Every structure is written in C-alpha cells, then in structure tokens.
Amino acid sequence: MARGKFITFEGIDGAGKTTHLAWFRERLEQHIAAGGRSVVMTREPGGTALGESLREILLHQKMDLETEALLMFAARREHLAQVIEPALARGDWVLSDRFSDATFAYQGGGRGLPRDKLEALERWVQGGFQPDLTLLFDVAPDTASERRSSAREPDRFESESDAFFTRTRAEYLRRAEEAPYRFAIIDSSQSIPHIQKRLEELISTL
C-alpha cells in the first residue's frame, strides 16, 4: 500500500481548530475508506505516553525558554518514531492537532526564541519531514481571546497576553507564506457551516 498522508491543524489558542477536528476526521475517513486506509488522530505535545507526560509539564510548569523548546522537540521525536512514521508507512493517514509549526509560532514568534535555533532542532529531529497539508485556522487575537475566556481554566499558554498571540499569529502567517504549497489558511472568524464547506473542498483535493 502507498504511503499515507500527514495533515496538521494549526492556529493560536481560541482560533477554533479543535471545534472542527472530529468532524474533519469523520469526513476524511469517508474519503479514504475505499482504499482500505484508516485515520490516526493525535496531538502535540502528546501522542505517546512519554509525550503526554511532557505535555503536562509543558502546559503547567514554568521553565527556561530553551528548555521549553527542547522538550517540545523531544516529545516530537518520540511522536514521530512511535506513532506518525509507522502509521504513514503502513498506508494510514495521520491527523495531528499541532506539529512543528506550533513550536516556531509559540516558542519562536510568541516567546522570541531565535529562529536559527528552532531550525537546527527541526533539522535534527525531523530531517526534511513536513506535513503534506497544514490547515491554519486564522483569527484576530482579540476574537481568540474572547473565545478562550469562555473555555476551561487556562493553561500557561492560554493565559498569555494578546501581544503574545499577535506575535504568534504573525509567525504562523510567515510560515504559511514561506510554504504556500502545504498551507491552507482558514478564516475561522466565519460561521461553522462556511468553514466546513471550505474543509470539504480541501478534502476533495486529497
């Protein structure tokens, strides 16, 4: 069976991507079912037992910025080795809530870690591996802030300022401009039916 495809969902906290994940997975499964393939749904940080343990640390414990970035990539290496690469090799498709674009956006854009350090880690951990398609759910930081305020108790990323998320969003958009062949930008200020129609169109091209 041919190698599977890797699709990622990205966006600042409050952009609305999580709202569409389960729906997208269901539609994607219908799209590829005839080929006998499955969809593996996962997330970052997380996706493995080690990754989930690191997720709890990353979301709730203060740490040095470089420690934070190193832990993100450590969790990613395990995720690739244990989940993503084996699934793709057996022909399944992988749908992940965040991947390395999030690290560039949050630790790079938001927190200010120099891009060359992140690029060195990305080359070491991933080689040239990147998603086949990245769906970037884009929304103004003030809109995202309103959405986050009505959600659960925020973690230490969700508690950041609008200025932080403005920088994070800008880095996401820079990454999308740098790699337009794999990014699709979704205007998540629009209604759910409108967004789902756009996602249906993207699925039909896969």
**Residue 18 labeled ligand binder:** yes
Report d(CA 172, CA 104) in Å as an integer: 8
**Residue 34 labeled ligand binder:** no
Beta carbons within 8 Å of 13's beta carbon, 6+ residues apart: 144, 148, 157, 158, 165
**Phi and psi for 177 in degrees, rounded to 5?**
-65, -35
3-state secondary structure 103-135: HHHHHHHHCCCCHHHHHHHHHHHHCCCCCCEEE
Is residue 27 within 8 Å of residue 204, measured between CB atoms? Answer: no
**Residue 11 labeled ligand binder:** yes
**Residue 35 labeled ligand binder:** no
Cα first-last separation, the chain: 16
Beta carbons within 8 Å of 196's beta carbon, 6+ residues apart: 20, 23
Report d(CA 47, CA 64) in Å as an integer: 23
**Residue 17 labeled ligand binder:** yes
> Binding-site residues, please?
11-18
> Binding-site residues for ATP, please?
11-18
